[in-house]
Structure formats: structure tokens, C-alpha cells
Structure 1
Amino acid sequence: MFETQRDACVAAAEAGGKVLLGYFRQLDPATITEKTKNDFVSDADRASEAAIRAELEFRFPQYGFVGEEGGASGDTERRWIVDPLDGTLNFVQGFPHWCVSVALWDAEGPVAGCVLDPLRGDCFLATRGQGATWNGKPMGVSKQPGLDGAFLATGFAYQLGDRWPRFHAALGRVFPRAMGLRRAGSAALDLAHTACGIYDGYFELGLKPWDLAAGVLLVQEAGGLLVDWEGGQSWFDSGNLVAGNRDVVPGLLAELAG
């Protein structure tokens, strides 16, 4: 079940990734614009989204579409949720850490999702009820026994605004207990790397649907846990997400709550 939708996620992500590779470190600065302070979009983002959308509309014209750059259209229950370039600032600066994220959601949540890292050739893929894979091999979350000594990922947008004090305080409580803490600038890759066991856990405030749409399914199908910062299930609407293995998340939640 959902094999054709899964294959569409991969084909669309590959189409977007191919476009992006043609732009990386060759981007004309004149094509980069600032949506809000320190929040950029470029011709690369737009061209990638166009390629992704064309592939998905060819395969499933009946489904809706939500893209970071083009907005929402069509069916609101069965819809593709796409980030054509997650890590735009990294991309613009030439920092080699960015990806493409493509997911299908229905009324029950994520159905299929792909996070593709074109530079490394890493394809993270999941289908509802069928597990998750990393380059075709089954993957699972880490076996880290708790927060102490965990290797964690986080993120913070420069648009956090009045959420910054909450994040900063939480960071101060988590940091002393972690073995390491990384802020690499791509939420979708952070979730993929949590799903495959590179990271033991991940937390962030204020994510957008396209940031997490594919990554959360990867974590779920890899055996991980997803909660909001209060331990509930409002993470899609709030964008406040905690993810990781089932031994790390409870300790992480306790520190985030203060």
C-alpha cells in the first residue's frame, strides 16, 4: 500500500535535487531576495519547487499541494507538503548542508515521505506502517539510554522573536547534560539524522509544516517518539517539536519544561 505515492516522493525529490545541484555555489547574488530579515529565497528554491510540483502533478493530479514558496492549492485532505530547499541560508552561503523534503499527508497524518541530501547521495524514505529506510536499507533510531551523554540536534530561526527567551532558557538546561549539541541549519535533515540514529534527539520551536512533514514520518517509522514541548501532540500546528528515541525524549522534555 502507498508504494506509488512513496515512489512519487522519491522521483519528485530527485527532480528538485537535480535542479539544486546545478545552482549550488553558482548562484547569482542578484537572484537572492530576503522575504523577512535573514530569511532568504532564491531562483534555486523556486526552480526546485517548480520541478517537484511538475513531477507530482503528473503522477497524482488529484492531490493538493503545499509548497514553501508557492503556497497551498487543491485538495486539503490529500496533499503534498514540500520544502524544495531546506537550508536555504546554508545553500546561499555555499555551506554543504541542505536537502529536499517531499511528503504526502492525508486526514490521518503523513502517508509517505522522502528527505533527500543530493550532495551526499543520502535518501531517507518512509511509508506509513512500512518502516523507514536509508539508501534502501532499514533504519532505526538510536539506542542511547537517556539524555545524559546524548548527541542532540536543535535549530532556531532568526525569526523566533518572543519565543527566543524560552528557547534560550531550555538550551541552558539541556546543554550540560548532552555529549554534544549541533545546530546545522536544516530541520528536515536533523529529523532524518535522528531517524537513522546519528542523533539521539532533536528539539526546535516554530517549525513550519514543510520543515517537518517528511521528517516526522521518518522518525515515527524508525521507532522514535514525537511530542510537542508540553508532551502532547500539537506539534504539527504549533511547530514546537521534540523527537528522538523513547529513552531520550522524556529527559529532554523535562529539561525543556524547566
Structure 2
Amino acid sequence: MNDTDSRQVIGRKSFAAVAINCAAKAGEWIKTKVGGYASLNQKTSHHDLVTEVDKGSENLIRSLILTHFPDHAVLGEEGVEPGPAASAAALEEVKDAEYLWIIDPIDGTTNFVHGFPFFSVSIALAHRGEVILGVVYDPSKDELFIAEKGKGAYVHGRRTRVSGETGLKESLVATGFPADRDGALPLNMRQLEAVVPRVRNVRTAGSAALHLAYVAAGRLSAFWEIGLNSWDIAAGALLIQESGGVVTDLDGNPYHLGVRNIVASNGAVHDELLAVLRSAAE
């Protein structure tokens, strides 16, 4: 092993350790705040919520990361103005950074607010625009999913693999309802109407990051959602790729940090699902 390889291995181990520590500490703190948040505000609409716990979680994670890696860039949901244009602009500013941490401090804030135990902390690390590390932590179940580029994905120390379904009729799939009730939601509802008769069943539990982790772990055959941001997707996308699955946009193009409309699957049902979703847009 040459010096470059050695530094890379050591660096990646430290990246993973920091990400796990950040997710665990944030998740532990979030659990103490369930049912006890002090302020509730709207972002783009009454469907798009934020609490002081979201902001506190992000500040905690950001502080821990920068303590270890002060020269790294950080993109967090709560540091960006609401709306797709602001999200795209924020990503554009930092996407070429050598190392970029991408944080969703609570993915599933509406669930958190209502005490519904399906929310997560999502942390990803990109190197020159390519995601090399992803962690999704479910504090309610104390379940941590982690993937490193080229090293596989794991939960509870066990390697994750996508499910084995070969057709939609055998598949349990999930989606999420967009906060944009005027533009994205009507398309999402047409997609849902097209998908439901063709699959075993559909779930929508309110955390894109956890849905993606469940695809990686074989608990869901596929997931799609429109109008997401990089912090919703980046960690979960790597989990799926390292578990043998496929992640694309609605046109079937490979995932990158700028993708907002996501389709993720075990691979075997991907083309069939894409075809159904496209039929809903016609």
C-alpha cells in the first residue's frame, strides 16, 4: 500500500467515526425533545415545518464536524433559505468543494412534531462532488445505517442487500408527499394512482432518508419522491448503491447531488417503475 492509499484509508475511517458520532449524539438529543419542542414555524407552507430542535441538531452536528475537519465545507438544511431556488443556489456554491458534508438534522420533522416515531438524522460526505460516506440514524429504533464508497453498507454491523423482487406486482414501494402542494403534489398524486394497482402495496411514512435506507436493507423494493434536496437523498442514495440497488432521476439518469426527483429501487424493478411513473406524467 503506498502513502496515498494509506492516508485515504485512515482518512475514511476517521470520516466514518465522526459521522457516526455526530448522528448518535444528535439523535440522542432529539429523542429527549420529542413532545417537548418550544417553537414551531412554517417554511414554505403549513406542510413544511421547522422547530428549534432541527436547528439545534444541525448546530451540534456542524460544530462536531468542524472541530475535526475545520477546512471542510458543510451544507445543512437549516442554513438554507426555504424553497427549491435557494436550495439549488446553496448547493451550487459548495458543490465543487474538496470535501462537503451534507446534513439533514431531522428528516421527518412533521413526524417528530406529532410524536410519530419515523424520523432520522442524515449525514453524507462528498469528495469533489461524489458521495463517499453516508449515515442515516433512526433514534427511535436506535438503528444506524452506514455506507462507504466501495466498502458496502451495513446496519447493526450486518451487510445490507436490496430485496429480491423481480416485478412490481410482488413489490412493497414507498413515496413521499411533496411540500409543494400546487406544483409537485398533483403530479405525485397521478403517479400514486398509476403505481398502486401495479404493486403489492404502497407506504408513505414521512422520512425520505429512512425510506431510502429501507430500500438498501431490502425492507422496501423501491421508493420515489419529487421535490427533494441533496440533504434528503445523499446518504440514502449511497446506502442503496452499496447494497446493490439503483438510484436515478425520473428520466433514468444516474443520481448526482443536484437531483431533486428521485427513483430508487433494488434494480430489478427499476425500469418497470420508471415506465409507470412516466405514464403518469403524460
Task: Give yes or no for the alignment of 1:8 onto 2:18.
Answer: yes
Structure 1's 227 and 208: CA in aligned 2 closer, same or farther, altered over 3 A? same
Extract structure 1 runs of 4+ deviating beyond 6 A: none
Deviation at 1:96, TM superposition (A): 1.0
Amino acid at match of 2:35: R
CA distance in 2, matches of 1:76, 1:107: 6
How many residue pairs get matched? 256
Match 2:73 to one of 64, 77, 93: 64
Q: Give TM-score scaled by structure 2 length.
A: 0.87
1:187 alignment counterpart: 208
Q: TM-score, normalised by structure 1?
A: 0.95
Partner AA of 1:68 in structure 2 = E
Match of 1:44 in 2: 53
2:116 is aligned, of 92, 95, 106, to 95
1:56, distance to aligned residue in structure 2 (A):
0.6
Classify 1:63/1:215 alpha carbon distance in 2 versus 1 (closer, same or farther; 3 Å).
Answer: same
1:199-218 residue pairs with structure 2 within 5 A?
199-218=220-239
Residue aligning to 1:32: 40
**Deviation larger for 132-141 or 226-235:** 226-235
Which amino acid is 2:45 matched to?
K
Q: CA deviation at 1:169?
A: 1.8
Query: Please, which runs of 5 or more residues in structure 2 have no aligned partner?
Result: 1-8, 81-89
- 1:126 paired with 2:136, answer no
Aligned counterparts of 2:254 and 2:152: Cα–Cα separation in 1: 21
After superposition, the C-alpha distances for 1:153-210 in whole angstroms (9 at most, x for unaligned) are 1012231432233222221111101111011000000000010000000011111111
Distance in 2, Cα, partners of 1:234 & 1:7: 25
1:156 and 2:165 correspond: no
Question: Over residues 202-226 of structure 1, what are the superposed CA-to-partner deviations in whole Å (9 max), with x where a residue is unaligned?
Answer: 0111111110011000000011001
How far the C-alpha of 1:239 sits from its partner, in A, is: 0.6
Question: SS of 1:161's equivalent?
Answer: coil
Classify the secondary structure of the residue corresponding to 2:24.
helix
Amino acid at match of 2:36: Q
Contact 1:142 1:199 in 2 (8 A): yes
Which of the two has greater helix per residue? Answer: 2
Measure the CA separation in 2 of the matches of 1:252 and 1:235.
Answer: 20
Report the Cα offset of residue 108 of structure 1: 4.4
- In the alignment, the residues of structure 2 paired with residue 32 and residue 185 of structure 1 have an alpha-carbon distance, to the nearest angstrom, of 18
Q: Which runs of 5+ in 1 are unaligned?
A: none
Q: Using the TM superposition, name which of 42-51 and 163-172 deviates more.
A: 163-172
2:239, 2:183 → 1: CA distance?
A: 30
What is the distance in 2 between the residues matched to 1:196 and 1:67? 25
Which amino acid in 1 is paired with 2:224?
Answer: F
Residue of 55, 58, 78 corresponding to 2:64:
55
Distance 2:50 2:185 in 1: 23
- State how far apart, in whole Å, the 2-side matches of 1:150 and 1:42 are: 35
Shift of 1:227: 1.1
Q: Any residues of structure 2 matched to 1:176-255 within 5 Å, and which? A: 176-233=197-254, 236-255=257-276
Once residues 235 and 241 of structure 1 are traced to their aligned partners in structure 2, the CA distance between those partners, rounded to angstroms, is 10
Per the TM alignment, residue 236 of structure 1 is displaced from its structure 2 partner at its CA by: 3.5
SS in 1 for 2:53: helix
Is this contact kept in 1: 2:247–2:255, CA < 8 A? Answer: no
Q: Is the 8 A contact 1:123 1:134 kept in 2?
A: yes
